[in-house]
Amino acid sequence: MNQEPTKLFNRNYALLFQGQLVSRLGTQIYAIAMILWIKDATDSATLVGLLLMVSAIPGVFLSPIGGAVADRFSRRKILVFSDLIRGLAMLVVAGVIYTMADSVDLLLALLFLVAILSGTVTAFFRPAIAAAIPDLVPKDRVVTANSLGQLSLQLSVFFGQGLGGTLFRLLGAPFLFLFNGVSFLYAALSESFIKMPEVAPREKMSVGESWRRFMADLKEGFRYTWNRSGLRELVFISAIFNFFTMPAVVLLPFFVEDTLHASKDWYGVILVAFGIGAFLGYVVAGIFRLPGRTRMMVLLAFMVGQSAMYGVIGFAPTPFSVLPMALAGGFMGGYIAVNITTVLQLSTPSEVRGRVFGLLGMVAGSLTPIAMGLSGVIADAVDQNIPLIYAVSGGIMVILSVSVALLPQTRALLAYEYKPKDRQGPPPDAGPTADRPPVSPTTLPF
């Protein structure tokens, strides 16, 4: 496949889209089932946080390696084998929890092992899919493709998390774990039919030479990223931002049941409100393309607004009062995610895109596992005073968002304007200008 695609929903992108839609649905259902099962079995916020932590750690340290692999080997095969491995692992979990439901310690150990395995595989999967998308659609439709990708995620959130609590109560954890495994296998089958360009020629070489080439690729990704002023600052701020976002995610089940005194079903309803808001944000980002400077101002305002939402949502008196805040926060987050991801994708050459995505995933997510583990520990230490934790986290995130607005380099990055002649990205020694800031791609969590 050497010719650039001429339409968005071509055969290859459609295969990727529908496969990911199904596997994401399974993942969301599994996430709800896993958290609720642990809460019912142990009532421990610490265990929930630790499980999320160990699932995130491999991605932090292996993302640069995964990115280098995505730039040297077949991205299609990486996608297929990643989903195949995760699918088989989920089937094992489903079988064990079905046959040994009373062995809580054994099941917890298995969940931790599978979380580590899944996190390791995902470290290779994410850079590969992020690097592949700009090669599967026309360059001027990448923002739309990213919007559709986020749409598939939010559809899975809407149905998976929205119904997850109810499905857990009606069908139980084993069936939901089984569904997740089957969804991954379906995605692997769909991805096996995709055709995409090979970005690097495969040469026959010794093991030593292969390792030297691999390390050279990895160093090039570090150099390419470090030399982009503005991106450096944004990525480090993003790592801290991720840290203070995690309590809202990890402690949401405890907030719903113990602070709002609502049923498990409300956990899914609140997540759906976030999802609907994010969906609207993706749609608006895909349809309305603002000029670079205007887009930058909107993004900065949304960063502050979404941060403030995390801080005040803990003081909502009823589940119904949480919904409009969740809707607004989701909208701002969705709009931000699509625009930043698109800017960073389009400004980086395809041949290094995987490495840069992997590196930035490591840096931006470096503090996330620690935050996941500490969220549960701190919650148990303060007698699960969730509103206090949300308020402190949200206040710090507001300060971080304002700091982004004060940095001229990051403002220039967010105002980046894609031009066809810049398809391969700015040259390594190019300095920032009004419409061509030096940038590289990442998936920032704003």
Q: Label residue 203 by pLDDT band (50, 70, 90).
A: low
Given a contact cutoff of 8 angstroms between Cβ atoms, the answer to whether 414 and 291 are in contact is no
Q: Label residue 418 by pLDDT band (50, 70, 90).
A: low
Domain covering 11-422: architecture:
Up-down Bundle (1.20)
Q: Label residue 441 by pLDDT band (50, 70, 90).
A: very low
Q: Label residue 198 by pLDDT band (50, 70, 90).
A: low
**Domain parsing of the chain, residue ranges:** 11-422
Rounded mean pLDDT of 151-175? 75
| pLDDT the model gives residue 213 | 67
Of 274, 280, 338, the residue nearest 306 (C-alpha): 274
| pLDDT the model gives residue 231 | 67
- Tens digits of residue pLDDT in 246-272: 888 778 888 888 888 887 778 778 877
Asked whether residue 66 carries a pLDDT value surpassing 70, the answer given is yes
Asked whether residue 442 carries a pLDDT value surpassing 50, the answer given is no
Q: Label residue 77 by pLDDT band (50, 70, 90).
A: confident
SS3 assignment, position 24? helix
Please indicate whether residue 313 or residue 45 has the higher confidence score (pLDDT): 313
Q: Would residue 192 be called left, alpha or beta, if left means φ above 0 and alpha means ψ between -120 and 50 degrees?
A: alpha
Alpha carbons 193 and 172: distance in angstroms, whole number: 34
Chain-centre distance of CA 244, in angstroms? 16
Rounded mean pLDDT of 99-108? 81
Given a contact cutoff of 8 angstroms between Cβ atoms, the answer to whether 145 and 8 are in contact is yes
- Tens digits of residue pLDDT in 230-249: 667 776 777 777 788 888 87
Q: Mean pLDDT in the chain?
A: 77
Q: Label residue 88 by pLDDT band (50, 70, 90).
A: very high
Rounded mean pLDDT of 281-302? 84
Asked whether residue 215 carries a pLDDT value surpassing 90, the answer given is no
Please indicate whether residue 356 or residue 322 has the higher confidence score (pLDDT): 322
DSSP string, 166-202: HHHHHH-HHHHHHHHHHHHHHHHHHHTT-----SS--
The number of helix segments (H) and strand segments (E) in the chain equals: 17, 0
Asked whether residue 440 carries a pLDDT value surpassing 50, the answer given is no
Q: At what angle do helices 75-99 and 104-136 cross, to 10 degrees?
A: 160
The lowest-confidence range among 78-92, 122-136, 427-441 is 427-441
Q: Would residue 257 be called left, alpha or beta, if left means φ above 0 and alpha means ψ between -120 and 50 degrees?
A: alpha
Give the predicted TM-score (pTM) of the model. Answer: 0.60
The two most distant CA atoms of the chain are separated, in Å, by 65
Given a contact cutoff of 8 angstroms between Cβ atoms, the answer to whether 133 and 146 are in contact is yes
| pLDDT the model gives residue 350 | 65
Chain-centre distance of CA 85, in angstroms? 19
The token pair that represents 397 in the structure block: 């995130």
The token pair that represents 435 in the structure block: 């419409």
Q: For residue 257, give the DSSP letter.
A: I
Rounded mean pLDDT of 329-347? 79
Alpha carbons 232 and 229: distance in angstroms, whole number: 6
Rounded mean pLDDT of 19-37? 84
| pLDDT the model gives residue 225 | 67
SS3 assignment, position 278? helix
| pLDDT the model gives residue 81 | 92
User: Length of the chain, please?
Assistant: 446
The lowest-confidence range among 31-35, 55-59, 111-115 is 55-59
Percent of the chain with pLDDT over 70: 79
| pLDDT the model gives residue 84 | 92
Of 308, 343, 348, the residue nearest 328 (C-alpha): 308
Alpha carbons 75 and 132: distance in angstroms, whole number: 7
Rounded mean pLDDT of 176-192? 89
37 CB burial (10 A radius; 0-12, 13-18, 19+): buried
| pLDDT the model gives residue 351 | 66
Of 143, 148, 135, 115, the residue nearest 35 (C-alpha): 115
| pLDDT the model gives residue 217 | 65
Of 249, 283, 288, the residue nearest 376 (C-alpha): 249
| pLDDT the model gives residue 438 | 28
Alpha carbons 409 and 406: distance in angstroms, whole number: 9
Rounded mean pLDDT of 389-412? 86
Residue 394's H or E segment, with its range, is: helix 386-406
Asked whether residue 281 carries a pLDDT value surpassing 50, the answer given is yes
The token pair that represents 103 in the structure block: 């062995």
Asked whether residue 58 carries a pLDDT value surpassing 90, the answer given is no
| pLDDT the model gives residue 85 | 93
| pLDDT the model gives residue 422 | 45
HSE value, Cβ hemisphere, 13 Å, CA-based, for 281? 30
- Tens digits of residue pLDDT in 104-160: 888 888 888 988 898 888 888 887 887 788 878 877 777 778 777 777 776 776 677
Given a contact cutoff of 8 angstroms between Cβ atoms, the answer to whether 188 and 87 are in contact is yes
Alpha carbons 15 and 441: distance in angstroms, whole number: 24
- Tens digits of residue pLDDT in 356-392: 666 666 666 667 777 777 887 888 888 878 889 999 9
| pLDDT the model gives residue 434 | 29
Asked whether residue 65 carries a pLDDT value surpassing 70, the answer given is yes
| pLDDT the model gives residue 425 | 42
Percent of the chain with pLDDT over 90: 4
The token pair that represents 445 in the structure block: 């969590």
| pLDDT the model gives residue 314 | 86
